[in-house]
Amino acid sequence: MIYLDNAATTLKKPDCVVAAVTEALCNMGNSSRGTHDSSLKSARAVFAARSSLAKLFNAPGPEQVVFTQNSTEALNMALCGLFCKGDHVITTALEHNSVLRPLYRLEDEGVISLSVVPADRQGRPDYDAFSRLIRPETRAIVCTHASNLTGNVMDLERVGAIAKSHGLLLVVDASQTAGAYPIDMKRMNISVLCFTGHKGLMGPQGTGGMCLARDVRIRPFKVGGSGVQSYSRAHPAEMPTRLEAGTLNGHGIAGLGAGVDYILEKGVDAIHAYEIALAKHFYEGVRDIPGVTVYGDFTNWNRTAVVTLNIGDYDSGAVSDALWEDFGIATRPGAHCAPLMHHALGTAEQGAVRFSFALFNTLDEADAAIAAVKELAQCD
């Protein structure tokens, strides 16, 4: 199998991730629930993972790193816990439903009003719209760091500067970039960074979280057992316990920590350079094939290692199935949970076939994918 669906989940994890999870499954107790060795082992692994993530993202400190099940949960927690009635929020056409649906729900409940920064047919956001859409009651900009559909990266330094100059919160969905593209919370003025563990961070599914700037307070989403302050009616107010309830995914977090340490050692820049080299090779091999339409902005390579295309007017699902059945190449077709982006690209009906590369892919695999696209395009 040639696995090119890494933007959905990285299939191949570093050996150290598998080893860390296996070891944890055999020896790890419940974090913060007791003082015997197996409980402390869990608490230490959780703290180490917080520290590594804080280092990777230049977050204020380990206590500002909160663990969730995935980025969707982190985004729900942030968006439900930050806004008050009357707040205005700006988001973008690049967003995934993990951002849009929580915002739509808040809008439908009459809590917030919502404006959307549009994108052009190359999926590029209209950066000028951010400032144009700001009103006196605007509270936040909520945006993805990169489109899961096109791989276009949002210029977060530019958006962060706008947010800072207007005193707005900046909530970022880093599902597509965490571990695969440099992120610096402080330099980018990010208030809340939401990430998932099972994509670029190369950790297990069931892991993810958020990093909070020092002055950001989110109302608790879930409350319950905390292992401390048991006689208080209310969930503890201190970070990170404030936003975590019940037993953490210690086994998964051990693996996530190993994945992040692996990335810190390799360097995000080096990982990004390698992945982009593969994507560029593939892009250059397919862009001129007659009948192939590639989506997104390829005028520069400040992007993620995603190349999304269609062949003629073939249904993207049929193309993806043929890639799998006839060539053993795993891709993702369809709507990609990014409805506004598809409307901007003009692919709402057809969907699109996404090829997404990661660290364990090779140039040979990219070549095989080019050959497969060529062959399918000739059938057109």
Sites for a second copy among residues 54-73 (CB under 8 A): 68-73
Q: Is 258 helix (H, G, I), strand (E, B) or coil?
A: helix
CB 27 to a second copy: min, Å: 7
Task: Find the part of the chain contacting a second copy (CB under 8 A) among 28-36, 52-60, 210-218, 271-279.
Answer: 28-36
Measured CA to CA, the distance from residue 193 to residue 174 in angstroms comes to 7
Among 58, 104, 301, 315, binds a second copy (CB under 8 A): 104
CB 202 to a second copy: min, Å: 10
Q: Pick from 117, 111, 217: which is nearest to 163 by CA? A: 117
Residue 237 touches a second copy, criterion: CB under 8 A: no
Q: Write down the residue that tokens 């190359």 correspond to.
A: 122
Among 5, 63, 275, 365, binds a second copy (CB under 8 A): 5
Measured CA to CA, the distance from residue 126 to residue 131 in angstroms comes to 10
Among 58, 81, 87, 97, binds a second copy (CB under 8 A): 97
Please give the residues from 167 up to 226 whose contact with a second copy meets the rule CB under 8 A. 196, 198, 204-207, 221-226
CB 128 to a second copy: min, Å: 26
- 145 with 174: CB under 8 angstroms? yes
Residue 312 touches a second copy, criterion: CB under 8 A: no
The nearer residue to a second copy, 8 or 129, going by C-beta atoms, is 8
Please give the residues from 322 up to 361 whose contact with a second copy meets the rule CB under 8 A. 324, 330-339, 348
Across-strand partners of 193? 172, 211
Residue 248 touches a second copy, criterion: CB under 8 A: yes
Sheet holding 353-356: strands in order across? 292-295, 306-311, 353-356
Q: Is 91 helix (H, G, I), strand (E, B) or coil?
A: strand
Measured CA to CA, the distance from residue 149 to residue 161 in angstroms comes to 25
Residue 50 touches a second copy, criterion: CB under 8 A: no
Q: Write down the residue that tokens 């007791």 correspond to.
A: 34
Among 129, 291, 317, 371, binds a second copy (CB under 8 A): 317
Q: Is 320 helix (H, G, I), strand (E, B) or coil?
A: helix
44, two tokens: 């230490």
The nearer residue to a second copy, 330 or 373, going by C-beta atoms, is 330
The CB-side HSE value for 155 (13 A sphere, CA atoms) comes to 12
Among 30, 113, 115, 122, binds a second copy (CB under 8 A): 30
